[in-house]
């Protein structure tokens, strides 16, 4: 995670030491844990799975859901909530509040490059998202016997790429938003749209076909489609890769310290 | 040898010119002040030489490095304390120092820094729990944590109470005594007078004068006054024979000598030769304040402390 751009060959320059990156990442993690919001958001989906799963009607197969139980449909949706919240709300708001409070200004005169700051935050958020989503999946599987999807590698790839896609979008917001309020103003609608596409409000299978098509173009709509085996896998993966690359490049171009 | 060279620096923000034409050199081991009214271009100047902003014209070299093209190398040897900069509220003092230390190839000893800056007792305190003076001391510690050869301190004592301000000044002197060259940006005359070896006076984006604080004060051209009670009678003519003396006034047993230039030295030398003791000696000299007002177009308050 260095952006060493050696200009004078006599003086080899290092943008950031590995030790520095590790320390920055650990510090970011510590700071996130000191803000209870992130932890709450990691646990809310787990609680939702437990609550929904404890309703007997949600544990019986439904004809309208193609013989699946409600809990089967909702586990991937709840698992998606964690990365969506962290990537589209926690990440941009954290970075924007650093910008707002001149924390980034202080960092910008240290040897840390912008990519180091973004990289450290993304590392922490990705690790938390992975843990949170894994927790939801584990509770679903162990408590309510939600079976693993038949095409597990595809689903894991979908989640990983979907996480990358929303992280990239979160970074676009984070790159420029001047205040935490502005960041949440941009990030929250994106998060809600992804919630919708992942079937949080209405199961995607119950939506009209045309709306389902649109949902599949939204990152976590594509992830949910991969999980439920809808549509063509490579198309979904292409959508996710597209968002990741476009978002990442835009974020790097737009980034400002202040 | 000059460790900072600024030559014809020019910086615009859109149509607005923040720095017209600024040149100065800072020698190794000195405390160099950049002084000027608010909005004179002081902060923009230090931002350009810290590599925080890209200059629009001129040449800048810090320790032989170009702040823009050799930014990474410069970051390792330049410590910067910026006006308007902060840390995450919940970050603790020691964590902040350990974090910033990890960014540098030659980090300073953290316990030593904590002791020197009087922050040992606050090592476990969150940033938002610190007083203004403590936050400023931490800012100095962070500027020093990479064992820099040069530190830039921007409006270090703005917003501090007089006690904290004096304590901070002592720290700056300690920093210099440790062999670090200090570039101090301030609009407090008293601060510049007390700390700086030399000062660049900037007004409206241009350097008005570069001199020692005393030299600048002398340029203000104001009359100087000495009042004392001579132990033996002294003829006015003897005093008026000195080139520096313009007038002599009598106030009972007290003499008031008015003059210019190195008045104090001239008069005290004469008294010494006559073996006359000057009782109740008071000297009223032109100050940096006077120089500031006469050399810049500062008409508003806030320019003086």
**Per-residue pLDDT reduced to its tens digit, B70-106:** 988 999 999 999 888 889 999 999 999 999 999 999 8
Residue A93 lies in a domain: yes
Assign residue B280 a region: left if phi > 0, alpha if psi is -120 to 50, beta otherwise?
A: left
Retrieve residue A247's tokens: 């978002």
**CB-based contact A76:A227 (threshold 8 Å):** yes
Asked whether B32 and B13 are in contact (CB, 8 A), the reply is no
Position A34 in a domain: yes
Neighboring chain B residues of A22 at a CB cutoff of 8 Å: 102
Count of domains observed in chain A? 1
Flag whether A194 is in a domain: yes
Domain that holds residue A127: 18-254
Asked if A23 and B70 come within 8 Å (Cβ–Cβ), the reply is no
A8 within some domain: no
* Backbone φ, ψ for residue B20 (5° rounding): -80, -60
Determine the Cα angle at B72 with ends B68 and B73, to 5°: 100
Q: For residue B298, what pLDDT is reported?
A: 47
Query: pLDDT tens digits for A101-119?
Result: 889 989 989 998 888 888 8
pLDDT by residue (tens digit) across A29-78? 999 888 877 778 788 899 999 998 888 888 888 877 777 888 888 888 88
Separation between Cα atoms, residue B119 and residue B94, nearest integer Å:
9
Number of H helices, E strands in chain B: 11, 13
H helices, E strands: number in chain A? 11, 0
Mean residue pLDDT across chain A: 86
Radius of gyration of chain B (CA): 23
CA dist B253 and B262 (Å) reads 24
pLDDT value for A10: 35
Give alpha helix (H) positions in B78-188. Answer: 93-101, 110-116, 132-144, 162-177
User: Residue B221: its pLDDT value, please?
Assistant: 65
Give the C-alpha separation, A222 to A243, whole Å.
Answer: 11
Q: What is the pLDDT of residues B193-203, one digit of tens each?
A: 899 999 999 98
- Per CATH, which fold does B223-285 belong to? Alpha-Beta Plaits (3.30.70)
Domain segments of chain B as ranges: 2-218, 223-285
Nearest to B85 among A24, A105, A111 (CB): A105
Query: Which has the higher per-residue pLDDT, A86 or B292?
Result: A86
Residue A4 confidence (pLDDT): 42
Q: Which two tokens stand for residue B6?
A: 């600024």
**Nearest chain A residue to B95, by CA:** A27
| Whole-number percent of chain B with pLDDT over 70 | 95
Fold of B2-218: Rossmann fold (3.40.50)
Token pair, residue A157, equals: 């790839």
Task: Write the ipTM.
Answer: 0.83
- Judge whether residue B304 has pLDDT over 50: no
Which residues, in sequence order, are CB contacts of B286 under 8 Å at separation 6+?
B217, B218, B220, B221, B222, B223, B224
pLDDT digits (tens, 9 = 90+) for A171-228: 999 998 999 999 999 999 999 999 999 888 887 878 898 998 899 999 999 998 898 8
pLDDT of residue A165: 96
- So what's the pLDDT on residue B116? 85
Rg (CA), chain A: 20
Specify which of A6-10, B56-60, B162-166 reaches the highest per-range mean pLDDT.
Answer: B56-60
Of A51 and A11, the one with more pLDDT: A51
Asked whether residue A9 is domain-assigned, the answer is no
**Rounded mean pLDDT, B26-48:** 91
Tell me if chain A has a CB within 8 Å of the CB of B144: no
B111-150: burial string, b at 16+ Cβ within 10 Å, e else = eebbebbebeebeeebbeebeebbbbbbbbbbbbbbbbbb
| Average pLDDT of the residues of chain B | 87
User: What is the predicted pLDDT for the residue at A9?
Assistant: 36
How many Cβ atoms from other residues are within 10 Å of residue A97's Cβ? 20
CB contact under 8 A, A111 and B91: no
CA distances from A234 to A19, A154, A209, A238 (A): 38, 10, 20, 6
Query: Most B CBs within 10 Å: which of A19, A100, A110, as the mutation test of the B interface?
Result: A110
A3 is a domain residue = no
- Core vs surface per residue A36-61: b (16+ CB within 10 A) or e: eebeebbebbbebbeebbeeeebeee
* Nearest-by-CA chain B residue for A12: B73
């Amino acid at each position: 995670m260095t952006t060493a751009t050696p200009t004078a060959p006599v003086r080899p320059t290092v943008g950031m030491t590995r030790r520095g990156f590790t320390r920055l990442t650990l510090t970011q993690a510590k700071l996130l844990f000191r803000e209870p919001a992130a932890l709450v958001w990691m646990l809310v989906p787990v609680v939702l799975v437990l609550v929904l799963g404890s309703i007997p009607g949600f544990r019986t197969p439904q004809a309208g859901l193609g013989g699946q139980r409600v809990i089967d449909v909702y586990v991937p949706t709840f698992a998606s909530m964690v990365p969506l919240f962290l990537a589209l709300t926690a990440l941009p708001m954290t970075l924007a509040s650093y910008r707002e409070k001149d924390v980034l200004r202080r960092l910008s005169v240290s040897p840390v490059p912008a990519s180091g700051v973004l990289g450290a935050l993304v590392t922490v958020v990705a690790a938390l998202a992975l843990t949170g989503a894994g927790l939801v999946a584990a509770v679903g599987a162990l408590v309510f016997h939600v079976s693993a999807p038949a095409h597990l590698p595809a689903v894991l790839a979908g989640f990983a790429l979907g996480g990358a896609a929303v992280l990239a979008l979160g970074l676009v917001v984070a790159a420029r938003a001047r205040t935490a309020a502005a960041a949440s103003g941009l990030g929250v609608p994106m998060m809600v749209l992804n919630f919708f596409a992942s079937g949080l409000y209405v199961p995607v299978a119950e939506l009209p076909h045309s709306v389902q098509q649109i949902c599949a173009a939204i990152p976590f709509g594509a992830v949910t489609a991969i999980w439920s085996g809808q549509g063509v896998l490579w198309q979904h993966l292409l959508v996710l890769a597209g968002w990741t690359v476009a978002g990442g490049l835009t974020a790097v171009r737009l980034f400002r310290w202040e | 040898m000059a460790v900072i060279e600024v030559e014809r620096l020019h910086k615009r923000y859109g149509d607005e010119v923040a720095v017209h034409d600024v040149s100065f050199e800072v020698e190794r081991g000195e405390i160099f002040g950049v002084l000027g009214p608010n909005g004179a271009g002081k902060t923009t100047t230090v931002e350009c030489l810290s590599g925080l902003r890209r200059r629009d014209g001129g040449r800048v070299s810090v320790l032989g490095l170009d702040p823009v093209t050799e930014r990474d190398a410069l970051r390792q040897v330049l410590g910067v304390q910026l006006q308007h900069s902060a840390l995450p509220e919940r970050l603790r003092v020691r964590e902040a120092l350990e974090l910033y230390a990890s960014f540098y190839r030659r980090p300073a000893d953290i316990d030593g820094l904590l002791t020197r800056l009087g922050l040992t007792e606050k090592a476990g305190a969150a940033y938002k729990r610190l007083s203004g003076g403590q936050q400023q001391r931490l800012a100095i510690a962070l500027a020093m944590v990479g064992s820099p050869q040069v530190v830039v301190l921007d409006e270090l004592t703005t917003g501090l109470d007089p006690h904290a301000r004096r304590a901070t000044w002592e720290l700056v002197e300690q920093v210099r005594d440790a062999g670090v060259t200090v570039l101090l940006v301030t609009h407090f005359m008293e601060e510049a007078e007390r700390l700086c070896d030399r000062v660049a006076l900037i007004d409206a984006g241009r350097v008005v004068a570069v001199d020692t604080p005393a030299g600048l004060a002398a340029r203000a051209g104001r009359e100087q006054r000495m009042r004392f009670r001579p132990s033996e009678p002294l003829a006015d003519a003897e005093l008026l024979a000195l080139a520096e003396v313009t007038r002599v006034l009598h106030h009972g047993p007290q003499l008031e000598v008015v003059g210019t230039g190195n008045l104090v030295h001239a008069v005290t030398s004469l008294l010494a030769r006559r073996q006359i003791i000057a009782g109740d000696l008071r000297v009223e000299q032109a100050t940096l304040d006077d120089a500031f007002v006469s050399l810049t177009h500062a008409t508003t308050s806030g320019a003086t402390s």
